[in-house]
Amino acid sequence: MSDPAIVLPGTERVNAAVRKSANRKRKDFKQNNLVGYMFISPWLIGFFLFAFIPIAISLYLAFTNYHLLRGGEWVGLANFERMFTTDIRYGRAVLATFQYVLIAVPLRLVFALAVAMLLNTKRRGVYWFRAAYYIPSVIGGSVAVAVMWRQLFGGDGRVNEGVINTFIGYLGFERVNWFGNPQTAIWTLILLAVWQFGSPMLIFLAGLRQIPSELYEAAAIDGANASQQFFRVTLPLLTPIIFFNFVMQVISGFRVFTQAFVITAGGPLDSTLFYALYLYRRAFNDFQMGYASAMAWVLLLIIAFFTALNFRLSRYWVHYDTKEG
Amino acid sequence: MATLDQTLNFAAHKRQRQRQNLSRTIIYYTTVGLLAIVMLYPVAWLVASSFKPLDEIWSNVTSLIPSTLRFENYAEGWQGFGGITFQTFFGNSFLHAGLGTLFTVTSSAIVAYGFARVKFRGSGIWFSIMLLTLMLPSQILMIPQYIIFNELGWINTFLPLLVPRLGGDVFFIFMIVQFIRGIPIELDEAAMIDGTSKAGIFFRIILPQIVPALVTAAIFSFYWTWEDFLGPLIYLQSPQLYTVALALRAYTDTGSINNWGAVFAMLSLSLLPVILIFVFFQRFLVEGIATTGLKG
């Protein structure tokens, strides 16, 4: 691209702010509003059209009984009242989501950390094992894996033929009707989440590599054994990363949709009717978009609440000063 | 001075250490090896099942080695359903993920340069607002966006899935901004003294330097779009427009599948692009996650 065509009228303008800072080292960097806004305009236009305006509409809809085909009117707080008093399925959705987040997130992080510890070594071939453990996370969000997962656990009435049940049979235990029982259906989704521990594992691994080896040498000289080294050196120094992973995983845990949609379809008896799934059904199957918008705002509040809670609790267990570790 | 006794003692000690190390090595590789088998078994099972003869899929279910390779599974699966073959679905998916990624990465790079290297009034505020939108659950935007696109008559086209991509992606903008900030500003200054415009600096100096960040962004963008289910589910209605994700769901949702070999063949095939990219670009992926905390 040739330069003269691109030079904009504003480029040469030297404004007061720059003149004031003319003695600064980087005086060549003029403030340049027009050029700046030109560069960020794709995001700025996108933000107004696809985020700002929709947010305003969504906030309005949350207080209406808007129906995609029938329209709607202002109903005040009625949507929220319905959510917390008469809508039994909403309560079940919240409960199922909490159950999922509270079990799947810690399990996933424990696995991620354990495997990262295992891979934090200079042994040969570690590179390949790291890749192997990460593959499930790369493909895990896809419909293909969800369909496969349902078959592994003997979906579609194939209780005796599923892979997992066949292995359970080999071990001499009784086969489980995974999708027929509200207690077990959610575990298929939890196990899928645990299987995909790749991303937090990589983040933990990067964190483990940052810990100076002198600390371990010093601990060893003081007579600390492996478990003491883990609890007194590794774990305290990793707490900022554990915290980061925990916050991110809780946020994404509340938004799980595809897996529940394909693998369990919310059943049986709404035991896996996750928040995002129930919201989708209200909005796009029942077209109750006012009610679904209200649900979306409550979801935002729930996520914000848990994120804030995490930050507040973090001061009791997260060490940011490495010297204290 | 080392006496003979000491030397012998040392040698014995060393042998013992070596024996200990050997057994530790064996235990280590057994552990990571077994774990790798458990992790990869489901995928291997899927691929193996896609080659099994139909009567073998459920009767010899845990086996990873088909008695004979039945390639017809792939030919039969490719036929798709309702007279539409998987050629259409894969075409749609490549269009969706390809164009979507192109739009996202191009816009993200341009916007990131603006935030990282141009001084303008309000840049700090806009940057903060941009990062705040990361907190927003997509569920809030989903419904009003649908209403807007419905008014525009865009339902059942790819427009709602592609046009918003022209605004870039906040995750990637942030990542590229961080990357640009790591490039020595003296390069920009030298070019500026030579009379190069901001746009010229972007294309000649910054763009060649940020290629690794762009590759990382492109890989993640492709993955997320290829695997996206909710977007196509909401906006694409006629099977002619189905992406692979949507088609697989429709294909397996009928409840009366008798050709599971064909289903498993198409499931495997849909994972192939993702796995190929992973194999070739593993380095970018691993670094992208480890340094920015991007989710895979």
Which residue matches tokens 């060393």? Answer: B14
For residues A232 and A230, what is the distance between their CA atoms, to the nearest angstrom?
6
For residues B143 and A276, what is the distance between their CA atoms, to the nearest angstrom?
12
CA distance to partner chain B, nearest, from residue A54 (Å): 5
pLDDT at residue B226, rounded to an integer: 95
Tell me the pLDDT band of A1, cut-offs 50, 70 and 90: very low
Ordered by start, the domain boundaries in chain A are 3-61, 83-317
Please give the C-alpha separations between residue B92 and each of A118, B86, B96, B159, B277, in angstroms, as whole numbers: 41, 10, 6, 13, 19
pLDDT at residue A122, rounded to an integer: 85
For residues B263 and B80, what is the distance between their CA atoms, to the nearest angstrom?
9
Q: Where is average pLDDT lowest: A5-9, B75-79, B82-86, B247-251?
A: A5-9
Residue A143: list chain B partners with CB under 8 A.
227, 229, 244-246, 248-249, 270
What phi-psi label fits residue B32: left (phi over 0), alpha (psi between -120 and 50 degrees) or beta? alpha
Give the percent of chain A with pLDDT over 90: 50
Closest CA to A112 of B295, B227, B222, B28: B295
| Tokens found for residue A69 | 């085909």
Residue A124: list chain B partners with CB under 8 A.
none
For residues A8 and A38, what is the distance between their CA atoms, to the nearest angstrom?
10
Residue A159: list chain B partners with CB under 8 A.
none
Give me the residues of A, 177-236, that contact B with CB < 8 A. 195, 198-199, 202-203, 205-206
- Crossing angle of helices A143-152 and B244-252, rounded to 10°: 30
Residue A292: list chain B partners with CB under 8 A.
143
Residue B121: list chain A partners with CB under 8 A.
31, 33, 36
Give the gyration radius of chain A's Cα atoms: 26
Closest CA to B296 of A142, A313, A279, A111: A142
CATH class of A83-317: mainly alpha
DSSP result, B151-198: HTT-TTSSHHHHGGGGG--HHHHHHHHHHHHTS-HHHHHHHHHTT--H
Average pLDDT over residues A65-87: 92
Q: Strand, coil or helix: what is A157?
A: coil
Closest CA to A131 of B271, B294, B284, B42: B284
For residues A308 and A187, what is the distance between their CA atoms, to the nearest angstrom?
28
CA distance to partner chain B, nearest, from residue A261 (Å): 10
- Cβ-defined contact of A55 to B144 (cutoff 8 Å): yes
For residues B295 and A135, what is the distance between their CA atoms, to the nearest angstrom?
13
Q: Which of B89, B142, B256 to mutate to test the interface with A (most CBs of A within 10 A)?
A: B142
Q: Side chain identity at A271, as an amino acid letter?
A: S
Q: What is the ipTM of this complex?
A: 0.87
* A18, pLDDT greater than 50: no
pTM for this model (two decimals): 0.86
- Cβ-defined contact of B114 to A40 (cutoff 8 Å): yes
Give per-residue burial for B39-70: e unless 16+ CB within 10 Å, then b: bebbbebbbbbbbbbbebbbebbeeeebeeeb
| Tokens found for residue B77 | 């699966």
CA distance to partner chain B, nearest, from residue A206 (Å): 6
Q: What angle do CA B145, A261, A61 make, to 5 degrees?
A: 30
- Residue scoring higher pLDDT (B276 or A323): B276
Ordered by start, the domain boundaries in chain B are 4-70, 75-292
CATH class of B75-292: mainly alpha
Which residue on chain A is closest to B127 by alpha carbon? A40
Q: Strand, coil or helix: what is B65?
A: coil
Tell me the pLDDT band of B291, cut-offs 50, 70 and 90: low
